Every structure is written in C-alpha cells, then in structure tokens.
A and B are shown apart, each in its own frame.
Chain A
Amino acid sequence: MPNLGIFLLLSAVLFITGAAGVLVRRNPLVVFMCVELMLNAGNLALVAFSRYHRTTEGQVFALIVIAVAASEVVVGLALMVAIYKSGRPMDIDEMSEMRG
C-alpha cells in the first residue's frame, strides 16, 4: 500500500491544476469544471486522512462536500443559462460585476 504522502501529493497536484485552470481559462463553464477539480482534490485529501486516522469523520465531510458541490453546480449552470439567454458573451472577464 502506498503511503499517505502519495495521496496528498496527488491531491495537491489536482488542486493546483484546477487553480491554474481557474486563473487561466476564460470560458466560465471550464472555470466551473476546474472548481469541481479543486473540490475533488480536497475530497481525496479528506478521505486519505480519514483512512490514515481510521476514523469515518473525513468520509462524512467528503460526502457533505459532494452534496454542496452538486448544489453549487446547479446554481452556477442556471446562471450560465440565464446569462446566455440575456445575449451577453460567455467570457469570464465580461462577468466581473455583480450587477446585471
């Protein structure tokens, strides 16, 4: 069995990849997917630590993170559709203001 460091390193790699995607990409849908990648990386770290300490709490946290991520995706994609219907360009730099 590989040790904890491998899993944490993979988690860090995925998180950094996602963060770089959020910083670099313009398409809001891809930015969303990169946020999902970051959440998944956090989940992997939670599960690895849960296994390391032999307690189930980390898995429960990860489950709640999955639920919150799902609701976040629902709201975010509804926003995308609303912005698309209003005829604005799908560019993250065009959406930097909260006002409509």
Chain B
Amino acid sequence: MTILIAAPQAASPALTILVAATAALSATSGLGVVLSRRPLYAALSLVVNMLSLAILFVVLSAQFLAAAQIIVYAGAVMVLFVFVITLLNPLREDSPVREPVQVGIAVFLSAAFMALAAVMFLGTSKPGVFPEVDIVAGATPFGSIQDVGTQLFNVFAFPFEVTSLVLVVAAVGAVYLSRGK
C-alpha cells in the first residue's frame, strides 16, 4: 500500500493499467447486476463490483475505507442479500423487466446522461491531476485509520453519533418487521 501511495505519479504505467482494468471490471459487474436474470447472479456481480471499488479506494489512498468496504459491504451486506435471496427462493419472474416503453425510456435517458458525463469529465480542458500524497516522517498518512478516526471523532462526532442512532433504529425496526405473528 505504501508503494502505491508514495509512487511518483507522473510515470507509473502499472498503476494506470491497474486502474483501467479495475474500472472496466467495475463497470462490467455493474452491468451484470442490472442484466442478470437471476437475483443470485446479480448479487454475485455486486460483490465483484464492491471488491473492485475497494481496489480503487486503495489506489485513491483511502486504505481504511477500502477495508470497511470489504468488511461491511462485500461481507455483511452481501451475505444478508444472498441469505434473503436463498430464503425467498421462488422468485421466478415471469418477465424480469417492465413494459417495453418504460425500458426504452430508461435506456434512452441512461445513454443521454452517459454521453453527458463523458463530455463533462473527459472533454474538459483542465485535467484533474491528483496532488502528490507523500509520506512525511511523524505525520499521519493520508487516509489511514488514524487520519480518518481523528476527523470522525473530532470534527464529525455528532454525525457519528447520529449514525449509531440510525443503526439502532434500523435494527429495532428490522426485528419488529420480521417478528412472528
């Protein structure tokens, strides 16, 4: 990880190839979520998508967030998804998509927004070159647990507490919703 962070950014073709391959994998698995007929295959595509995003987080020197992404998303959330899918197995859909008109409108809007995003993010005259994140002795590395934790418990202590409240409410709500009659 340190190598990735400290690498000189001007000349690192390996990093470019890694990012390109991961981005392609991410986009493909994202399409897989939408296009696969069976919910279980969609869930597995989503796991691949989340893992590829975790790789991109490491490249963006968000090491702690990458770990959290793998543990919380690819671990806990997706296990829950797969569990519910297998529990509610007879989800055989007669037609997995809606009316053709609806699909047509959705595909058209998606293509339009995709073109807009490509023009916006690639056709700009100012390339957003990432600044160097170098490791200074004694300073906390950018994106480390220490760095994120300092922010979280000093500046964002109140949102953190509210988040824990949200989690408790969600847990209680889930127990209430799925209780036996």
Residues of A within 8 A of B (CB): 1-10, 12-14, 16-21, 23-27, 29-30, 32-34, 36-37, 40, 43-44, 47-48, 50-52, 54, 56-57, 59-60, 62-64, 66-75, 77-82, 84, 90-91, 93
Within 8 A of A (CB), among B127-153: 127-131, 133, 142-143, 147-148, 150-152
Tell me the chain B residues, 35-62 only, with Cβ under 8 Å from chain A.
39, 42-43, 46, 49-50, 53, 56-57, 59-62
* Interface pairs (28), CB distance under 8 Å: A4-B128, A16-B114, A17-B33, A19-B110, A20-B106, A24-B107, A25-B96, A25-B97, A29-B42, A29-B81, A29-B91, A47-B56, A50-B143, A51-B62, A54-B142, A56-B142, A56-B148, A59-B65, A60-B151, A67-B163, A70-B76, A74-B80, A74-B170, A74-B173, A78-B177, A80-B88, A81-B88, A90-B91
What 10 A-B pairs are tightest by C-beta distance, nearest first?
Answer: A4-B128, A71-B170, A12-B117, A21-B34, A1-B9, A78-B174, A23-B106, A78-B177, A5-B121, A20-B110
